Amino acid sequence: MNKQVLIAVSALAIAACASGTRGAMPVPEPCAALADSVSKYVSVDALPLAHIVGNPNLPRTPAMLGPGDSAYVEFLVRPNGLADTSTVLVSGASDPEFVRSAVAFAAESRFVPAQAQGCPLMSKYNLVVKSRAATR
Number of Cβ within a 10 Å radius of residue 92: 14
Whether residue 19 is contained in a domain is answered as no
Give the number of domains in the chain.
1
Tell me whether residue 33 is in a domain. Answer: no
**47 is a domain residue:** yes
Q: Is residue 6 part of a domain?
A: no
**pLDDT, tens digit (0-9, with 9 covering 90-100), for 65-99:** 888 889 999 999 999 999 999 999 999 988 899 99
CB 107 within 8 A of CB 83: yes
Query: Which CATH number fits the domain that encloses residue 105?
Result: 3.30.2420
Residue 33: closest CA among 123, 125, 114, 116: 116
Number of H helices, E strands in the chain: 3, 7
Residue 134: CB partners within 8 Å, gap ≥ 6?
A: 67
Closest CA to 101 of 134, 56, 70, 66: 56
* Domain span including residue 65: 43-136
Is residue 113 in some structural domain?
A: yes
Whether 119 is covered by a domain: the verdict is: yes
Residue, of 69 and 133, whose pLDDT is higher: 69
pLDDT digits over 4-62, tens only?
433 433 433 444 444 444 444 555 678 888 888 888 899 989 999 999 999 988 888 88
The pLDDT-based confidence of 1 (bands split at 50, 70, 90) is very low
Report the Cα–Cα distance between both ends of the chain, in Å, rounded.
83
Nearest to 69 by CA among 134, 6, 131, 136: 131
Task: Evaluate whether residue 116 is within a structural domain.
Answer: yes
Domain assignment present for 74: yes
